[in-house]
């Protein structure tokens, strides 16, 4: 569901950036938290950061995002989920201008002192087939014959390895994910999952031979791994175990939403939330996460959330990260994007509502209680 939203939002961002946006503000008055948050730890073993997801499609929105990421994190996460330049990568040709322009502007905005996570994927937004083509822009239709290739076709394997090398050389990441939420394919497209495993092994071995010290891995959804959202816990464990020799760590997509639980409620947060991932015995990094701070209704169902719940989620997440020595924790959205959502078509707006208030700061600049917990951990010295 989140992948469909991201695909649609990319189109909306392009359109809105060209014609401007209408500003709206959250209904509640801004009452900045005065709570004193203390963390019972001398240091933190994990980095803290965000993806580059802007609160609105304006230059001011981009500037606010940059300032927020620099102030409230020591890590930047680049999430390239919009396709691969397949033909160019296969032949070692020049990469498309649209892709290179995006790469350059992104790289230039990363704070020099930040640890860097880069995530790419050979899977499309639905995690059921080969990723789309990134040419003049991202998410373009696959050219022939790529639209017929399975993920373990020799041309796909060699093109993706070449592409991954180019990403590493260009961005020089500290952590590198070569697949995003890949266990969704195990649930929804078993043949694609089988082909992905072959591709992953091929690319991992090729990259490790050249970059032995770079942590290389894939990301997984904790919900499917836990037997939720259609996943089978035993089957997920069995299948992911086959990839463990080719994973330097486990990346986790972690969202504590109500629909993940049989009761339909996300509260209280399950104490064993991360147990399925910890059982693999690999280092863990949370590659994306977030919890809403306001209640919302979507698709005929009401979801009850509050700033207090979001703050408890942040506290729980970072406590778990400390106790279990996570490598890093990434929140997908730093600032709410209700200024952006206001001008979206109604059908997109309903879907976007699910994540609109997962930021730790409101679009009007009001800090939420969850940010106090986040910053309390950020202010601890980093030490592994």
CATH of the domain at 319: 3.20.20.80
CA-CA distance, 164 to 56, in Å (whole number)? 30
327 assigned to some structural domain: yes
Contact 271, 319 (CB under 8 A): no
Does residue 147 belong to any structural domain of this protein? yes
97-109 helix and 154-171 helix, angle to the nearest 10 degrees: 40
Residue 22: predicted pLDDT: 33
Q: What is the largest CA-CA distance in the chain?
A: 59
Give the DSSP per-residue string, 212-225: TTS-EEEEEEHHHH
Helices 59-72 & 369-378, crossing angle to 10 degrees? Answer: 50
pLDDT digits (tens, 9 = 90+) for 255-269: 987 666 666 667 788
Nearest 5°: CA angle at 247, between 202 and 102? 75
Q: Which of 242, 318, 237 is nearest to 276 (CA)?
A: 237
pTM over 0.85: yes
Considering 13-17, 54-58, 111-115, 256-260, the range whose residues carry the highest mean pLDDT is 111-115
> Who has greater pLDDT, 264 or 190?
190
Q: Lowest mean pLDDT: which of 1-10, 24-33, 153-162, 355-364?
A: 1-10
CB 185 within 8 A of CB 192: yes
Q: Which residues contact 143 (CB under 8 A, 6 or more apart)?
A: 86, 87, 133
% of the chain surpassing 70 pLDDT: 90
Number of domains the chain is built from: 1
Q: Residue 314 — very low, low, confident or very high, per pLDDT cuts 50/70/90?
A: very high
Q: For tokens 């092994």, name the residue.
A: 201
Structural domain contains residue 39: no
If pLDDT is split at 50, 70 and 90, which confidence band does 113 have? Answer: very high
Could you tell me if residue 300 is left (phi over 0), alpha (psi between -120 and 50 degrees) or otherwise beta? left
Q: What is the average pLDDT score of the chain? A: 89
pLDDT at residue number 16: 39
Q: Crossing angle, helix 307-323 and helix 369-378, to 10 degrees?
A: 20
For residue 351, the model assigns a pLDDT of 77
Q: What is the DSSP letter of 132?
A: -
> In this predicted structure, what is the pLDDT of residue 3?
46
| Domain-located, residue 149 | yes
Q: How far apart are CA 223 and CA 75, in angstroms?
A: 25
Range of the domain at 294: 2-26+45-378
* Residue 33 is assigned to a structural domain of this protein: no
Write out pLDDT tens, residues 221-243.
Answer: 999 999 988 899 999 999 999 99
Within a domain: 40: no
Q: Is residue 35 part of a domain?
A: no
Among the listed residues 291, 261, 270, the one whose alpha carbon sits nearest the alpha carbon of residue 374: 291
- Token couple for 48: 């803290």
Number of C-alpha atoms within 13 angstroms, CB side, residue 223?
21
**The predicted structure's pLDDT at residue 21:** 38
Of 16-30, 124-138, 195-209, which has the strongest mean pLDDT? Answer: 195-209
C-alpha 221/C-alpha 289 separation (Å) is: 10
C-alpha 259/C-alpha 113 separation (Å) is: 38
User: Does residue 36 lie within any of the structural domains?
Assistant: no
């Amino acid at each position: 569901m989140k992948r469909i939203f991201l695909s649609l939002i990319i189109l909306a961002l392009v359109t809105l950036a060209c014609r401007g946006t209408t500003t709206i503000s959250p209904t509640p008055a801004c009452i900045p938290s005065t709570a004193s948050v203390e963390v019972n730890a001398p240091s933190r073993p994990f980095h803290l950061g965000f993806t580059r997801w802007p609160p609105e499609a304006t230059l001011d929105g981009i500037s606010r995002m940059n300032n927020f990421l620099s102030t409230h994190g020591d890590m930047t996460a680049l999430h390239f989920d919009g396709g691969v330049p397949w033909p160019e990568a296969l032949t070692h040709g020049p990469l498309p201008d649209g892709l290179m322009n995006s790469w350059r502007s992104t790289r230039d905005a990363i704070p020099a002192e930040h640890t860097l996570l880069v995530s790419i994927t050979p899977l499309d937004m639905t995690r059921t087939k080969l990723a789309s083509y990134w040419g003049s822009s991202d998410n373009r239709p696959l050219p022939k014959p790529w639209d017929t290739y399975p993920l373990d076709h020799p041309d796909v394997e060699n093109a993706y390895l070449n592409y991954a090398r180019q990403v590493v050389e260009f961005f020089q990441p500290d952590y590198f994910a070569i697949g995003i939420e890949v266990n969704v394919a195990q649930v929804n497209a078993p043949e694609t999952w089988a082909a992905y495993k072959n591709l992953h092994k091929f690319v991992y071995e090729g990259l490790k031979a050249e970059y032995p010290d770079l942590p290389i891995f894939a990301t997984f959804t904790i919900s499917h791994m836990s037997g939720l959202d259609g996943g089978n816990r035993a089957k997920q464990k069995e299948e992911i175990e086959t990839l463990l020799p080719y994973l330097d760590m486990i990346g986790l997509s972690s969202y504590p939403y109500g629909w993940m639980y049989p009761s339909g409620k996300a509260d209280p947060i399950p104490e064993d939330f991360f147990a399925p991932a910890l059982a693999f015995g690999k280092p863990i990094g949370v590659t994306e996460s977030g919890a809403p701070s306001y209640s919302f209704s979507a698709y005929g169902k009401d979801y009850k959330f509050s700033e207090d719940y979001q703050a408890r989620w942040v506290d729980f997440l970072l406590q778990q990260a400390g106790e279990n020595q996570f490598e890093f924790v990434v929140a997908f959205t730093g600032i709410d994007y209700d200024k952006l959502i206001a001008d979206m078509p109604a059908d997109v707006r309903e879907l976007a509502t699910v994540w609109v208030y997962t930021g730790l700061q409101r679009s009007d600049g009001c800090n939420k209680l969850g940010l106090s917990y986040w910053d309390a951990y950020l202010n601890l010295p980093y030490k592994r």
